[in-house]
């Protein structure tokens, strides 16, 4: 009994899909050429026109677009419509040197909700479900999308946002929530809190976990499913396009169906940006096919994955991507927040310019990146009295918390103990 939100598009035969993609690619290339200086220059440098791209394979003749390209055109340089046509601005979840902003038209937002609605239905969510959304609503608009898509399919939303695990559990019980949307890390914390409070699983009504933006390892999935008595699904998104919503697991849980009528995926060699043979593992590069406000051509997601074009028993024809468990750059995620080592270095420099040496420790718990520790060397000639040490650590901690939205453990140590791995990032189990 497979349900669909948009059966026609979700089960489109792949030949028809290919025709649709090419047609929409043409529109996207023309839009980029006509409206965005950045893309027009690229075409001009290569000496060709959008109509010279005659097939999806030809697309590889164009260079990839990187996050840095986006950052350089902050705030509105890559928008392809006037600002008055934009209804939503979204900030990148991983601002580095400068923030990055993406714009959506009314139709873009509708498309976004439409793909999220598909994913929810594919996971078995329906009008009778009560979806508790324990994501932080705000500059990073993921939580909104869960919210609005849930309303679209007629489910009930409980926007619990950043309430504590204890409050989440109280609401979960009182409201009889059936779906929990949050990060795997916070879901694990909720599971532990429930156990600690001695609340029986029979007093909760969860059936489904809708998890992102971190990927779940098979082991983490198994433990979340047992400890919360749910079916756990991963949803994937790309900050710079739609997050969440580009792809998600169906009830088969064997790869994430990508909404290929809106997003064209390639798997490329991270060095050359050239497409790899079908089935190979590489970096996911995506071209938007319907975005009006912020079209992206061959955008490097940084995520390492592989694509599976074999038919899925659920009937959906969209290609399935493996949950991306690694990145082509140094970006890492702690408690659902994307962090770049450079960003930590910059923040440390701002908070405590006198610190010369540091090391980033990402500590795992239950298979999840759970804690960020910053080990910093005592500045030279430092009066290492209790008071001073605390003041320095507090300054660093406060600055990082404000900037990253994440509590960071700060440890001052002798420079000699930091010699190894200084300036590096270490993952500890």
Binding region for a copy of itself (CB under 8 A): 74-75, 83-84, 86-89, 99, 101, 103, 106, 109, 127-128, 130, 137-139, 141, 143-144, 147-148, 150-151, 154-164, 171, 174-176, 402
Residue 18 structure tokens: 């290919």
When the beta carbons of 101 and 286 are compared against a copy of itself, the nearer one is 101
Question: CA-CA distance, 318 to 25, in Å (whole number)?
Answer: 17
Q: Which is nearer to a copy of itself, 108 or 283 (CB)?
A: 108
Q: What distance in Å separates the CA atoms of residue 359 and residue 415, rounded to the nearest whole number?
A: 11
CA distance 47 to 62: 11
CB of 232 to a copy of itself, least distance (A): 23
Sorted by sequence, the CB contacts under 8 Å of residue 237 that are 6+ apart come out as 142, 212, 213, 243, 244, 245, 246, 247
- How far apart CA 410 and CA 392 sit, in angstroms, is 9
Q: Which is nearer to a copy of itself, 63 or 99 (CB)?
A: 99
**Residue 62: burial class (beta carbons within 10 Å; 0-12, 13-18, 19+):** buried
Instruction: Name the residue nearer to a copy of itself (CB basis): 160 or 375.
Output: 160
Minimum CB separation of residue 39 from a copy of itself in Å reads 22
> Least separation, in Å, of the C-beta of 174 and a copy of itself?
5
**Residue 141: what are its φ and ψ, rounded to 5°?**
-90, 15
Distance (Å, rounded) from C-alpha 139 to C-alpha 243?
12
Locus of tokens 């043979």: 277
| 158 in Cβ contact with 131 (< 8 Å) | yes
Whole-number minimum distance, CB 325 to a copy of itself, in Å?
A: 30
The answer to whether 94 touches 339, Cβ cutoff 8 Å, is yes
DSSP H or E stretch at residue 155: none
Nearer to a copy of itself, 66 or 156 (CB): 156
Residue 109 or 418: which CB sits closer to a copy of itself?
109
**Smallest separation (angstroms) from a copy of itself to the CB of 250:** 23
Rounded to 5°, the CA angle 368-369-371 comes to: 130
CA distance 238 to 213: 9
**With respect to a copy of itself, which residue has the nearer C-beta, 143 or 220?**
143
Residue 211 Cβ vs a copy of itself, minimum distance, rounded to whole Å: 20
CB 205, min distance to a copy of itself, A: 11
**Minimum distance of a copy of itself from residue 11's CB (angstroms):** 27
Q: Which is nearer to a copy of itself, 83 or 419 (CB)?
A: 83
């Amino acid at each position: 009994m497979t349900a669909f939100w948009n059966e026609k598009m979700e089960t489109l035969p792949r030949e028809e899909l290919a025709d649709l993609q090419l047609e929409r690619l043409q529109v996207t290339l023309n839009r980029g050429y006509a409206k965005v200086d950045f893309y027009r220059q690229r075409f001009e440098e290569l000496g060709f026109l959008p109509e010279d791209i005659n097939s999806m394979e030809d697309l590889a003749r164009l260079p990839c677009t990187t996050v840095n390209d986006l950052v350089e055109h902050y705030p509105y340089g890559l928008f392809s419509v006037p600002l008055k046509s934009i209804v939503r601005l979204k900030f990148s979840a991983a601002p580095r040197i400068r923030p990055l902003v993406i714009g959506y038209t009314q139709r873009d937002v509708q498309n976004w909700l439409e793909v999220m609605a598909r994913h929810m239905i594919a996971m078995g969510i329906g009008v009778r479900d009560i979806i508790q959304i324990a994501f932080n609503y705000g500059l990073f608009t993921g939580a909104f999308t869960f919210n609005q898509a849930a309303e679209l399919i007629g489910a009930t939303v409980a926007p619990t946002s950043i309430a504590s695990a204890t409050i989440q559990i109280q609401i979960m019980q009182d409201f009889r929530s059936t779906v929990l949307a949050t990060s795997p890390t916070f879901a694990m914390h909720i599971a532990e809190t429930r156990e600690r409070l001695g609340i029986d699983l029979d007093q909760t009504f969860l059936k489904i976990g809708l998890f992102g933006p971190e990927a779940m390892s098979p082991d983490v999935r198994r433990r979340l499913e047992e400890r919360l008595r749910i079916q756990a699904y991963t949803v994937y998104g790309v900050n710079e396009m739609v997050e969440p919503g580009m792809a998600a697991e169906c009830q088969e849980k064997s790869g994430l169906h990508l909404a290929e009528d809106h997003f064209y995926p390639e798997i490329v060699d991270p060095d050359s940006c050239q497409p790899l043979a079908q089935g190979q593992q590489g970096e996911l590069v995506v071209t938007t096919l319907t975005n009006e406000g912020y079209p992206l051509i061959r955008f490097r997601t940084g995520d390492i994955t592989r694509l599976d074009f074999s038919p899925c028993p659920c009937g959906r024809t969209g290609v399935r991507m493996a949950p991306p468990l690694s990145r082509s750059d140094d970006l890492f995620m702690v408690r659902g927040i994307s962090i770049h080592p450079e960003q930590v270095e910059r923040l440390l420099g701002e908070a405590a310019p006198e610190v010369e040496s540091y090391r980033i420790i990402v500590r795992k718990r239950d298979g999840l990146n759970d804690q960020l520790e910053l080990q910093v060397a005592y500045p030279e000639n430092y009066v290492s009295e209790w008071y001073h040490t605390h003041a320095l650590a507090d300054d660093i901690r406060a600055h990082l918390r404000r900037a990253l939205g994440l509590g960071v453990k700060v440890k001052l140590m002798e420079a000699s103990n930091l010699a190894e791995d200084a300036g590096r990032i270490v993952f500890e189990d």
